[in-house]
Amino acid sequence: MMYWGLYLAPLMMLKFIQWESDREGVHIFRVNAALSTWRMQRWLHNVYLWYIARWKDWGASAGPYCITLSPTQQLTERTWLHEKSHCDDCLKYGWLMPFMYFFHSAWLWLFCKDKHSYLDNFSERKARAAAGQKVDFTKEEWPHGEDDRWAWW
């Protein structure tokens, strides 16, 4: 409920995201990149632009019983299986899941210099395995080069 109340509900009310469909009991939302912002307050317009900018390198995010897709991401079978694995983690670990995910990434970044905070995160490795995607990456294969170990900024 925390994910729905603190993330999805406010974004739906602001029309930043919209419901798209359901699949196997999971609600699928899409980020609304075509939102008309001319009537928004200046601060809200800036928040929307910041939110859309966060999605430039992301395909999707998941929470309990829900998946949010970027404006351009197609719901392929691999994307479905990958994000469904994240949904399952959220159901298994409950409200601890976002903290476990973040702290594992922070641990990798701070103490494991040969690991990538996103690619080597336990949840991402599990999700890629569930989707039949590549699990292990060399430093040369990291998205932004071998010096970019932190994925979120």
Same structural domain for residues 81 and 153? yes
- The answer to whether residues 69 and 87 belong to one domain is no
- Are residues 10 and 65 part of one domain? yes
Cα–Cα dist 129/12, whole Å: 31
- Considering Cα of 103, then 105, then 110, then 115, what sign does the dihedral take? positive
Q: pLDDT tens digits, residue range 60-105?
A: 989 889 999 998 899 999 999 999 999 999 999 998 999 999 999 9
Claim to verify: residue 93 and residue 126 sit in the same structural domain: yes
pLDDT at position 66, please? 92
- 44 and 65 housed in the same domain: yes
> Which pLDDT score is estimated for 153?
58
Q: Exposure of 119 by Cβ count < 10 A (0-12 exposed, 13-18 middle, 19+ buried)?
A: buried
Q: Are residues 135 and 82 in the same domain?
A: yes
Strands 66-69 and 26-31: parallel
Q: Is the pTM of this model over 0.85?
A: yes
Span 104-152, pLDDT tens digits: 999 999 999 899 999 999 999 999 999 999 999 999 998 888 888 776 6
Same domain, 95 and 54: no
H/E element, 11:
helix 9-13
Residue 40 predicted with pLDDT over 80? no
Same domain (yes/no): 49, 114: no
Measured CA to CA, the distance from residue 108 to residue 79 in angstroms comes to 25
What's the pLDDT score for residue 51?
84
Its domain, for residue 30, covers 1-74
